[in-house]
Amino acid sequence: MSLIEKLTPEQEALIPVYREKWRAIALSTERIDKEKAEEVVKAVYTAIGKQQPEIIFCDSPYAGLKIILKKRNNKLNLNNINLNDNFINYISTDLVNKSSKTLYQLDTQVIRQLTIFRLDFIISEYVFEKKLKFKIQPKINLDRLWLKSQYLASRCCWLDFYISVLNCSHNKIRWKTLQSLSRFCGWISPFENICIICDRPLHLRFDNQNRLHAEGEPAIEFIDGYSLYSYHGVTLPEKYGKIHRQQWQATWLLSEENAELRRVLIQGIGYARIYEELQAIELDTWAEYTLLKIDNNVDIEPIYLLKMTCPSTSFIHALRVPPNINSAREAIRWVNWGIEPEEFAVQT
Protein backbone atom coordinates (compact mmCIF):
# COMPACT_ATOMS: atom_id res chain seq x y z
CA MET A 1 0.00 0.00 0.00
CA SER A 2 1.13 3.55 -0.66
CA LEU A 3 3.09 5.62 1.83
CA ILE A 4 1.03 8.20 3.75
CA GLU A 5 3.18 11.28 4.22
CA LYS A 6 0.48 13.89 4.82
CA LEU A 7 -3.10 13.94 5.97
CA THR A 8 -5.73 15.15 3.52
CA PRO A 9 -7.73 18.26 4.47
CA GLU A 10 -10.74 16.02 5.10
CA GLN A 11 -8.70 13.83 7.47
CA GLU A 12 -7.26 16.83 9.32
CA ALA A 13 -10.77 18.22 9.76
CA LEU A 14 -11.71 15.05 11.68
CA ILE A 15 -8.95 15.45 14.29
CA PRO A 16 -11.00 17.75 16.59
CA VAL A 17 -14.01 15.48 16.17
CA TYR A 18 -12.13 12.47 17.58
CA ARG A 19 -10.39 14.59 20.21
CA GLU A 20 -13.71 15.88 21.58
CA LYS A 21 -15.28 12.43 21.39
CA TRP A 22 -12.65 10.86 23.64
CA ARG A 23 -12.15 13.93 25.77
CA ALA A 24 -15.79 13.65 26.80
CA ILE A 25 -15.18 10.03 27.79
CA ALA A 26 -11.93 10.87 29.60
CA LEU A 27 -13.59 13.60 31.64
CA SER A 28 -16.91 11.87 32.27
CA THR A 29 -18.39 12.26 35.75
CA GLU A 30 -21.03 9.54 35.35
CA ARG A 31 -20.95 6.68 37.86
CA ILE A 32 -19.29 3.62 36.41
CA ASP A 33 -21.38 0.59 35.48
CA LYS A 34 -19.93 -1.90 37.97
CA GLU A 35 -21.27 -4.93 36.14
CA LYS A 36 -19.71 -3.91 32.81
CA ALA A 37 -16.48 -2.82 34.49
CA GLU A 38 -16.12 -6.15 36.25
CA GLU A 39 -16.89 -8.01 33.02
CA VAL A 40 -14.20 -6.28 30.94
CA VAL A 41 -11.54 -6.47 33.67
CA LYS A 42 -12.09 -10.21 34.11
CA ALA A 43 -11.90 -10.65 30.34
CA VAL A 44 -8.45 -9.03 30.33
CA TYR A 45 -7.27 -11.28 33.20
CA THR A 46 -8.36 -14.29 31.16
CA ALA A 47 -6.67 -12.97 28.02
CA ILE A 48 -3.30 -12.48 29.79
CA GLY A 49 -3.47 -15.92 31.38
CA LYS A 50 -4.30 -14.92 34.96
CA GLN A 51 -6.88 -16.33 37.35
CA GLN A 52 -10.00 -14.31 38.02
CA PRO A 53 -9.33 -11.77 40.78
CA GLU A 54 -11.50 -10.50 43.59
CA ILE A 55 -12.97 -7.22 42.30
CA ILE A 56 -13.03 -4.37 44.81
CA PHE A 57 -14.73 -1.08 43.98
CA CYS A 58 -13.78 2.19 45.66
CA ASP A 59 -14.89 5.81 45.45
CA SER A 60 -11.54 7.60 44.90
CA PRO A 61 -7.88 6.81 44.12
CA TYR A 62 -7.02 7.74 47.68
CA ALA A 63 -9.56 5.27 49.05
CA GLY A 64 -8.10 2.66 46.71
CA LEU A 65 -4.61 3.37 47.98
CA LYS A 66 -5.78 2.81 51.56
CA ILE A 67 -7.23 -0.57 50.52
CA ILE A 68 -3.91 -1.55 48.92
CA LEU A 69 -1.90 -0.58 52.00
CA LYS A 70 -4.33 -2.37 54.31
CA LYS A 71 -4.03 -5.54 52.22
CA ARG A 72 -0.27 -5.32 52.36
CA ASN A 73 -0.25 -4.70 56.10
CA ASN A 74 -2.36 -7.84 56.46
CA LYS A 75 0.54 -9.79 54.93
CA LEU A 76 -0.99 -10.08 51.48
CA ASN A 77 2.04 -9.85 49.23
CA LEU A 78 1.38 -7.02 46.80
CA ASN A 79 5.01 -6.18 46.08
CA ASN A 80 6.12 -6.42 42.46
CA ILE A 81 2.98 -8.16 41.25
CA ASN A 82 1.03 -5.20 39.94
CA LEU A 83 -0.20 -6.16 36.47
CA ASN A 84 -0.28 -2.73 34.82
CA ASP A 85 2.37 -3.66 32.27
CA ASN A 86 0.52 -6.88 31.42
CA PHE A 87 -2.69 -4.92 30.84
CA ILE A 88 -0.94 -2.27 28.76
CA ASN A 89 0.90 -4.83 26.65
CA TYR A 90 -2.32 -6.67 25.93
CA ILE A 91 -4.29 -3.62 24.85
CA SER A 92 -1.39 -1.95 23.02
CA THR A 93 1.04 -4.41 21.48
CA ASP A 94 0.23 -4.99 17.80
CA LEU A 95 -3.26 -3.60 18.26
CA VAL A 96 -2.86 -1.49 15.14
CA ASN A 97 -0.66 -2.61 12.27
CA LYS A 98 0.68 0.79 11.31
CA SER A 99 3.43 -0.73 9.20
CA SER A 100 0.80 -1.71 6.65
CA LYS A 101 0.57 1.95 5.67
CA THR A 102 3.91 3.18 7.01
CA LEU A 103 2.38 5.79 9.29
CA TYR A 104 5.34 6.42 11.55
CA GLN A 105 5.99 9.79 9.90
CA LEU A 106 2.54 10.89 11.03
CA ASP A 107 2.84 9.79 14.66
CA THR A 108 4.19 13.04 16.03
CA GLN A 109 1.69 15.18 14.14
CA VAL A 110 -1.37 13.08 14.87
CA ILE A 111 -0.67 12.09 18.47
CA ARG A 112 0.22 15.66 19.47
CA GLN A 113 -3.09 16.92 18.15
CA LEU A 114 -5.15 14.03 19.47
CA THR A 115 -3.70 13.86 22.97
CA ILE A 116 -6.47 14.60 25.43
CA PHE A 117 -6.18 16.75 28.52
CA ARG A 118 -4.23 14.52 30.90
CA LEU A 119 -6.18 14.79 34.10
CA ASP A 120 -4.44 11.65 35.38
CA PHE A 121 -1.12 13.47 35.89
CA ILE A 122 -2.75 16.13 38.04
CA ILE A 123 -4.66 13.68 40.21
CA SER A 124 -1.58 11.48 40.60
CA GLU A 125 0.58 14.35 41.81
CA TYR A 126 -2.02 15.51 44.28
CA VAL A 127 -3.20 12.16 45.62
CA PHE A 128 0.11 10.36 45.80
CA GLU A 129 2.61 13.12 46.54
CA LYS A 130 0.95 16.09 48.18
CA LYS A 131 -1.74 14.44 50.29
CA LEU A 132 -0.24 11.07 51.19
CA LYS A 133 -0.46 10.56 54.94
CA PHE A 134 1.05 7.10 55.12
CA LYS A 135 4.63 6.08 55.80
CA ILE A 136 5.20 3.30 53.32
CA GLN A 137 8.02 0.81 53.72
CA PRO A 138 9.29 -0.60 51.51
CA LYS A 139 8.64 2.22 49.10
CA ILE A 140 6.01 1.73 46.36
CA ASN A 141 5.92 3.50 43.01
CA LEU A 142 2.48 4.86 43.79
CA ASP A 143 1.84 6.34 40.37
CA ARG A 144 2.36 2.98 38.66
CA LEU A 145 -0.23 1.30 40.84
CA TRP A 146 -3.00 2.63 38.61
CA LEU A 147 -4.00 2.13 35.01
CA LYS A 148 -5.77 5.42 34.48
CA SER A 149 -8.91 5.95 32.46
CA GLN A 150 -7.59 9.23 31.02
CA TYR A 151 -4.50 7.44 29.71
CA LEU A 152 -6.73 4.81 28.14
CA ALA A 153 -8.91 7.49 26.54
CA SER A 154 -5.83 9.22 25.10
CA ARG A 155 -4.74 5.96 23.49
CA CYS A 156 -8.25 5.31 22.23
CA CYS A 157 -8.38 8.79 20.74
CA TRP A 158 -5.51 8.43 18.30
CA LEU A 159 -6.05 4.70 17.71
CA ASP A 160 -9.67 5.43 16.82
CA PHE A 161 -8.38 7.99 14.31
CA TYR A 162 -5.93 5.50 12.79
CA ILE A 163 -8.55 2.77 12.61
CA SER A 164 -11.65 4.73 11.60
CA VAL A 165 -10.15 7.48 9.45
CA LEU A 166 -6.95 5.97 8.06
CA ASN A 167 -8.36 2.43 7.81
CA CYS A 168 -5.43 0.74 9.55
CA SER A 169 -5.73 -3.00 10.03
CA HIS A 170 -6.08 -3.90 13.71
CA ASN A 171 -6.86 -6.58 16.27
CA LYS A 172 -10.62 -6.23 16.63
CA ILE A 173 -10.88 -8.06 19.97
CA ARG A 174 -8.15 -5.99 21.63
CA TRP A 175 -9.55 -2.77 20.20
CA LYS A 176 -12.99 -3.58 21.61
CA THR A 177 -11.42 -4.41 24.98
CA LEU A 178 -9.46 -1.15 25.10
CA GLN A 179 -12.56 0.88 24.29
CA SER A 180 -14.54 -0.98 26.98
CA LEU A 181 -11.87 -0.35 29.62
CA SER A 182 -11.98 3.36 28.81
CA ARG A 183 -15.76 3.62 28.61
CA PHE A 184 -16.80 1.45 31.55
CA CYS A 185 -14.01 1.77 34.12
CA GLY A 186 -12.45 4.49 36.17
CA TRP A 187 -8.92 3.94 37.42
CA ILE A 188 -7.82 0.31 37.72
CA SER A 189 -5.17 -1.20 40.01
CA PRO A 190 -4.74 -4.85 38.94
CA PHE A 191 -2.91 -7.41 41.10
CA GLU A 192 -2.59 -11.19 40.94
CA ASN A 193 -5.45 -11.88 43.36
CA ILE A 194 -7.37 -8.63 43.55
CA CYS A 195 -8.27 -5.80 41.21
CA ILE A 196 -9.34 -2.43 42.54
CA ILE A 197 -11.60 -0.31 40.33
CA CYS A 198 -12.04 3.33 41.26
CA ASP A 199 -15.16 5.28 40.37
CA ARG A 200 -14.99 8.51 38.37
CA PRO A 201 -14.96 11.95 40.00
CA LEU A 202 -18.33 13.34 41.01
CA HIS A 203 -17.43 16.84 39.76
CA LEU A 204 -14.81 18.30 37.40
CA ARG A 205 -14.63 22.06 36.99
CA PHE A 206 -12.57 24.03 34.45
CA ASP A 207 -11.95 27.59 33.31
CA ASN A 208 -12.47 28.73 29.71
CA GLN A 209 -8.97 27.47 28.81
CA ASN A 210 -9.78 23.93 30.02
CA ARG A 211 -7.58 24.28 33.11
CA LEU A 212 -8.83 22.87 36.39
CA HIS A 213 -10.44 25.76 38.18
CA ALA A 214 -13.05 26.52 40.82
CA GLU A 215 -13.56 29.28 43.36
CA GLY A 216 -14.68 28.36 46.85
CA GLU A 217 -15.30 24.73 45.90
CA PRO A 218 -13.25 21.74 44.66
CA ALA A 219 -12.11 21.56 41.04
CA ILE A 220 -12.08 17.76 41.37
CA GLU A 221 -14.44 16.10 43.82
CA PHE A 222 -14.94 12.37 44.36
CA ILE A 223 -18.11 10.84 45.77
CA ASP A 224 -16.44 10.05 49.11
CA GLY A 225 -15.53 13.72 49.58
CA TYR A 226 -11.90 13.44 48.53
CA SER A 227 -11.20 16.67 46.68
CA LEU A 228 -8.63 18.77 44.84
CA TYR A 229 -8.71 22.57 44.75
CA SER A 230 -7.29 24.45 41.79
CA TYR A 231 -7.12 28.03 40.54
CA HIS A 232 -6.63 28.32 36.77
CA GLY A 233 -4.65 25.07 36.72
CA VAL A 234 -2.59 25.64 39.87
CA THR A 235 -3.29 23.18 42.68
CA LEU A 236 -4.26 24.99 45.88
CA PRO A 237 -4.17 23.82 49.49
CA GLU A 238 -7.62 23.43 50.99
CA LYS A 239 -7.13 26.48 53.25
CA TYR A 240 -7.16 28.69 50.13
CA GLY A 241 -9.30 26.64 47.76
CA LYS A 242 -12.36 26.33 49.97
CA ILE A 243 -12.60 30.12 50.23
CA HIS A 244 -13.78 32.22 47.29
CA ARG A 245 -11.05 34.52 46.01
CA GLN A 246 -13.12 37.58 46.93
CA GLN A 247 -12.57 36.57 50.57
CA TRP A 248 -8.84 35.91 50.18
CA GLN A 249 -6.76 38.14 52.44
CA ALA A 250 -3.72 40.12 51.36
CA THR A 251 -2.06 39.38 54.71
CA TRP A 252 -1.75 35.74 53.63
CA LEU A 253 0.97 36.87 51.25
CA LEU A 254 3.19 37.74 54.21
CA SER A 255 3.33 34.14 55.47
CA GLU A 256 3.02 32.13 52.22
CA GLU A 257 6.46 30.71 51.37
CA ASN A 258 5.57 29.06 48.05
CA ALA A 259 6.30 31.49 45.20
CA GLU A 260 3.70 29.98 42.85
CA LEU A 261 0.98 30.18 45.48
CA ARG A 262 1.93 33.79 46.22
CA ARG A 263 1.57 34.53 42.51
CA VAL A 264 -1.90 32.94 42.51
CA LEU A 265 -2.94 34.86 45.61
CA ILE A 266 -1.76 38.13 44.04
CA GLN A 267 -3.69 37.33 40.86
CA GLY A 268 -6.86 36.41 42.76
CA ILE A 269 -6.79 39.27 45.29
CA GLY A 270 -5.75 41.96 42.82
CA TYR A 271 -3.34 44.81 43.36
CA ALA A 272 -6.06 47.32 44.24
CA ARG A 273 -6.98 45.34 47.37
CA ILE A 274 -3.37 44.45 48.13
CA TYR A 275 -2.17 48.06 48.30
CA GLU A 276 -5.11 48.97 50.55
CA GLU A 277 -4.84 46.02 52.93
CA LEU A 278 -1.03 46.07 53.18
CA GLN A 279 -0.83 49.87 53.55
CA ALA A 280 1.31 50.72 50.54
CA ILE A 281 3.72 53.66 50.76
CA GLU A 282 3.03 56.62 48.49
CA LEU A 283 6.20 57.50 46.55
CA ASP A 284 5.07 60.07 43.96
CA THR A 285 1.98 61.53 42.29
CA TRP A 286 1.14 63.08 38.92
CA ALA A 287 -2.42 64.28 38.19
CA GLU A 288 -4.73 61.38 39.12
CA TYR A 289 -1.86 58.86 39.18
CA THR A 290 0.07 57.70 42.25
CA LEU A 291 3.21 55.55 42.41
CA LEU A 292 3.03 53.16 45.38
CA LYS A 293 5.38 50.66 46.98
CA ILE A 294 4.42 47.72 49.16
CA ASP A 295 7.24 47.53 51.67
CA ASN A 296 6.46 44.02 52.93
CA ASN A 297 8.23 40.87 51.77
CA VAL A 298 5.27 39.81 49.64
CA ASP A 299 6.91 38.73 46.39
CA ILE A 300 10.35 37.80 45.06
CA GLU A 301 11.00 41.46 44.25
CA PRO A 302 9.39 44.61 45.71
CA ILE A 303 5.90 45.44 44.46
CA TYR A 304 5.59 48.86 42.84
CA LEU A 305 2.12 49.89 41.73
CA LEU A 306 0.69 52.67 39.62
CA LYS A 307 -2.66 53.62 41.13
CA MET A 308 -5.05 55.37 38.76
CA THR A 309 -8.19 57.17 39.95
CA CYS A 310 -10.83 57.96 37.33
CA PRO A 311 -11.76 61.67 37.70
CA SER A 312 -15.40 61.14 36.66
CA THR A 313 -16.26 57.87 38.46
CA SER A 314 -13.59 57.78 41.21
CA PHE A 315 -12.97 54.15 40.22
CA ILE A 316 -9.51 53.02 41.39
CA HIS A 317 -7.36 50.74 39.28
CA ALA A 318 -3.83 49.51 40.03
CA LEU A 319 -1.17 48.09 37.72
CA ARG A 320 2.17 46.61 38.71
CA VAL A 321 5.24 48.37 37.29
CA PRO A 322 8.97 47.49 37.45
CA PRO A 323 10.69 48.23 40.79
CA ASN A 324 13.33 50.43 39.16
CA ILE A 325 10.75 53.12 38.33
CA ASN A 326 11.19 56.26 40.43
CA SER A 327 8.29 58.55 39.54
CA ALA A 328 4.60 58.47 38.65
CA ARG A 329 5.36 60.05 35.25
CA GLU A 330 7.88 57.31 34.49
CA ALA A 331 5.36 54.66 35.53
CA ILE A 332 2.68 56.16 33.28
CA ARG A 333 5.15 56.21 30.39
CA TRP A 334 6.02 52.52 31.01
CA VAL A 335 2.36 51.48 31.17
CA ASN A 336 1.59 53.31 27.90
CA TRP A 337 4.48 51.92 25.87
CA GLY A 338 6.72 54.96 26.08
CA ILE A 339 4.10 57.65 25.41
CA GLU A 340 4.54 60.74 27.56
CA PRO A 341 1.71 61.37 30.08
CA GLU A 342 0.67 64.68 28.47
CA GLU A 343 0.56 63.11 25.01
CA PHE A 344 -1.38 60.10 26.30
CA ALA A 345 -3.91 62.44 27.96
CA VAL A 346 -4.47 64.23 24.63
CA GLN A 347 -4.91 60.92 22.77
CA THR A 348 -7.50 59.63 25.25
Tens-digit pLDDT profile for residues 264-277: 999 999 888 888 88
Helix ranges (H only) for 201-288 are: 238-241, 259-269, 271-277
- Residue 316: pLDDT above 90? no
Residue 112: per-residue pLDDT: 58
Higher pLDDT, 104 or 173: 173
The share of the chain scoring above pLDDT 70, in percent, equals: 80
The share of the chain scoring above pLDDT 90, in percent, equals: 32
Least reliable range by pLDDT among 59-68, 135-144, 322-331: 135-144
Residue 101: per-residue pLDDT: 45
Q: What is the mean pLDDT of the chain?
A: 81
Average pLDDT over residues 7-34: 88
User: 149-164 and 172-184 are packed helices; what angle lies between their axes, rounded to 10 degrees?
Assistant: 140
Higher pLDDT, 151 or 115: 151
Give long-range contacts, CB 8 A cutoff, 24+ apart: 229-238. Answer: 230/122, 231/264, 231/267, 231/268, 232/207, 232/264, 232/267, 233/207, 233/209, 234/260, 234/261, 234/264, 235/122, 235/125, 235/126, 235/130, 236/261, 236/264, 237/261
pTM for the structure as a whole: 0.76
Residue 1: per-residue pLDDT: 43
255-288 b/e with 16+ CB inside 10 Å = b?
ebeeeebbebbbebbebbebbeebebeebbeeee
Average pLDDT over residues 305-332: 85
Tens-digit pLDDT profile for residues 95-118: 776 554 445 455 555 555 555 455
Task: Sort strands 227-231 and 194-198 into parallel, antiparallel or unpaired.
Answer: unpaired
